[in-house]
Amino acid sequence: MKLSQSRVLLGALLCGMMANTVYAGEVNAAVAANFTAPVQQIVAQFQKETGHTVKLSFGSSGKFTAQIKEGAPFDVLLAADEKNPQLLEKEGLAVEGSRFVYALGKLVLWSAQSGYVDDKGHVLRKGGYNKLAYADPKLAPYGLAAKETLEELGLWNAVQGKLVTGESITQTYQFAATGNAELAFIALSQITQNGKVTEGSWWIVPAHLYNPIKQSAVQLSAAKDKAAAQAFLTFLKGEKAKTIIRSFGYDLP
Amino acid sequence: MMLNIAPADLQSVWLTLKLASVVTLLLLLIATPLAWWLAHSRRWYKGIIASLVALPLVLPPTVLGFYLLLLMGPHGVVGELTHALNLGRLPFTFAGLVIGSVLFSMPFAVQPIQNAFESIGKRPLEVAATLRASLLDQFFSVALPLARPGFLTAMILAFAHTVGEFGVVLMLGGNIDGETRVLSVAIYSHVEAMEYDAAHVLAGGMVLFSFVVLLGLYLLGGKEGKR
């Protein structure tokens, strides 16, 4: 009696597991470092609602693009720019027409010290600081935006002796968070939680000073028929994801 | 092979050689007494010091770099000290890289010299002592010449290891042209930016350089061994 009961149980369990393998898929997502915190919240929601699982890798869009060209096993790319997804699309490595802008990045001038940055960014002109950190403009869209901003303000030449370069905005943030650079151009999302900036002092750089940072997502060709990957991108466009994205200080297209 | 190296890249090559030379020289000065002490001391804390010296062999360079960044920063002990002494701050400077590299390459200099001292043993020094050689004389006239192969290995390894280091300089450097953008960081930036041509020139040169250094090391080692 007991034996048969446990057999039934085992049978049910196996069925359940099989059902799971039929309906629940796994998505390997390559995600730009600046989107780390929001994507984790989005994925938690997505997994709860669909039963799919998402494995996240964080890094720079350029590095991911190079890796995807060499056959890296990613299903979707959430880049920090528009250029890299376009490139993949052009080379047939991304599903044509799957590209869309999931967030518009906002650049911020930040200091770990409270009261250091005024809300007009005059601190840049006043000088008095030793180091200004920004991300390598060749590698990071936020670094390029920082360079454009400094050029637009006519300060590019004046700050040359004070610039230090991070290889990503994560490292740029680190330079400022440890106090080694008094000022840093980073992503607003890095210091925002639940719609609020929680630490230090900052100036949200007006959008007209730099070209829009169109953070774009794309489905990769290797995952063309993967329903879970498609479902994740659809979820990313949905209202629930948008609410999360906004709460981290991004704009939406 | 294309040899159109950009001036900024040439600058990196020069900076790297300068860094490696300064670091090797400093390491010889620091590692020699340290290795001597490690080879001869019987103190109970010898094991602790030996482990500390060997630590960079095990730690990921980024860990070392990150802690140095914190220590040398305005809230760190070293940072407060350099600031109080009016020396400014060390991160993002050549001096900062030198300190990071010295720590990082320390085991590569200490261990070959220590091994050389240990393999000499006590006997030659005792003989020198019976001939009334002073302690200093014993060291410079007997121990140093006998430990020559160890010193050669230490110098070459320290130099080559500094040229090849990446994690520490990336964390501490801030990628400043002519100040902290060493070869490995320049290569990394080129690769990241998908400028593969520029990366190939530097990376290929580095592979060649490293091979020649190691080949030299083995040839030298063979010759010294046969003596």
Domain spanning A107-204: which superfamily?
A: Periplasmic binding protein-like II (3.40.190.10)
Q: With bands split at pLDDT 50, 70 and 90, how would you rate the model's confidence at A6?
A: low
Residue A220 has pLDDT above 80, yes or no: yes
Answer yes or no: do B170 and A175 touch at CB < 8 A.
no
Tell me if B174 sits within 8 A of B91, measured CB to CB: yes
Check residues B169 and B193 and name the one with the higher pLDDT. Answer: B169
> In terms of DSSP bridges, do strands A132-135 and A163-166 run parallel, antiparallel, or are they unpaired?
parallel
For residue A213, give the amino acid letter.
I
A160 touches chain B (CB under 8 A): no
Answer yes or no: do A163 and B72 touch at CB < 8 A.
no
Q: How many CB pairs lie under 8 A apart between chains A and B?
A: 61
Answer yes or no: do A180 and B91 touch at CB < 8 A.
yes
Q: With bands split at pLDDT 50, 70 and 90, how would you rate the model's confidence at B213?
A: confident
How close are the terminal C-alpha atoms of chain B, in Å?
Answer: 40
Residue A122 has pLDDT above 60, yes or no: yes
Q: Mean pLDDT, to the nearest integer, of A183-207?
A: 91
Contacts of B92 in chain A (CB under 8 A): 131, 164, 180-181
pLDDT of residue B39: 93
pLDDT of residue A22: 47
pLDDT of residue A5: 59
pLDDT digits (tens, 9 = 90+) for B35-90: 999 999 999 999 999 999 999 999 998 899 999 999 998 889 999 999 899 888 89
Mutation pick from A130, A180, A183 vs chain B, by most beta carbons of B within 10 Å, is: A180
pLDDT of residue A18: 47
For residue A231, give the amino acid letter.
A
The nearest alpha carbon in chain B to A171 belongs to B171
Q: With bands split at pLDDT 50, 70 and 90, how would you rate the model's confidence at A149?
A: very high
Report ipTM (2 d.p.): 0.74
- d(CA A210, nearest CA chain B) in Å: 21
Contacts of B12 in chain A (CB under 8 A): none
Answer yes or no: do A131 and B92 touch at CB < 8 A.
yes
B112-128: b (≥16 Cβ within 10 Å) or e: bbbbbbeebeeeebeeb
Write out the residue limits of the CATH 3.40.190.10 domain(s) in chain A: 2-104+213-247, 107-204
Nearest Cα to Cα of residue A176 among A232, A240, A224, A109:
A109
* Rounded Cα gap, residues B54 and A16, in angstroms: 53
DSSP three-state, residue A201: strand
Indicate the average pLDDT of chain B. Answer: 89
- d(CA B217, nearest CA chain A) in Å: 34
Q: For residue A145, what are its two tokens?
A: 């935006």
For residue A39, give the amino acid letter.
V
B191 touches chain A (CB under 8 A): yes
- What percentage of chain B carries pLDDT values higher than 90? 51
Question: In this predicted structure, which of A216-225, A240-249, B58-67, B214-223 has the lowest mean pLDDT?
Answer: B214-223
B69 touches chain A (CB under 8 A): yes
pLDDT of residue A240: 95
What is the Cβ-side half-sphere exposure of residue B203, based on CA atoms within 13 angstroms?
12
Domain spanning A2-104+213-247: which superfamily?
A: Periplasmic binding protein-like II (3.40.190.10)
* Rounded Cα gap, residues B182 and B22, in angstroms: 14
Domain boundaries along the sequence of chain B: 7-36+61-226
Instruction: List, in order, residues 6 or more apart from A135 with CB less than 8 Å away.
Output: A142, A143, A146, A165, A166, A167, A168, A169, A171, A172, A185, A186
Entry pTM:
0.79
CATH 1.10.1060.10 fits domain B7-36+61-226: no
pLDDT of residue A138: 87
- The beta-carbon contacts of A64-70 under 8 Å, at least 24 apart in sequence, are A64/A30, A64/A32, A65/B194, A66/B191, A66/B192, A66/B194, A67/A30, A68/A30, A68/A93, A68/A220, A69/A93
The neighbour count for residue B227, using CB atoms within 10 Å, is 5
Tell me if A73 sits within 8 A of A223, measured CB to CB: no
- d(CA B1, nearest CA chain A) in Å: 24
Residues 47-66 of B with CB under 8 A from A: 66
Nearest Cα to Cα of residue A47 among A231, A223, A217:
A231
Check residues A194 and A10 and name the one with the higher pLDDT. Answer: A194
Answer yes or no: do A166 and B69 touch at CB < 8 A.
no
Q: With bands split at pLDDT 50, 70 and 90, how would you rate the model's confidence at A112?
A: very high
- d(CA A138, nearest CA chain B) in Å: 6
* Rounded Cα gap, residues A120 and A203, in angstroms: 6
Tell me if A120 sits within 8 A of A85, measured CB to CB: no
Residue B116 has pLDDT above 80, yes or no: yes
The nearest alpha carbon in chain A to B180 belongs to A164
The neighbour count for residue A69, using CB atoms within 10 Å, is 13
Q: With bands split at pLDDT 50, 70 and 90, how would you rate the model's confidence at B227?
A: very low
pLDDT of residue A66: 84
Indicate the average pLDDT of chain A. Answer: 89
**Looking at chain B, how many residues does it have?**
227
Q: With bands split at pLDDT 50, 70 and 90, how would you rate the model's confidence at A8?
A: low
Q: With bands split at pLDDT 50, 70 and 90, how would you rate the model's confidence at A21?
A: very low
- What percentage of chain A carries pLDDT values higher than 70? 91
Whole-angstrom CA distances from B83 to A128, B68, B76 are: 16, 15, 10
- d(CA A234, nearest CA chain B) in Å: 30
Mutation pick from A83, A178, A185 vs chain B, by most beta carbons of B within 10 Å, is: A178
Q: Mean pLDDT, to the nearest integer, of A205-224?
A: 95
Residue B21 has pLDDT above 50, yes or no: yes
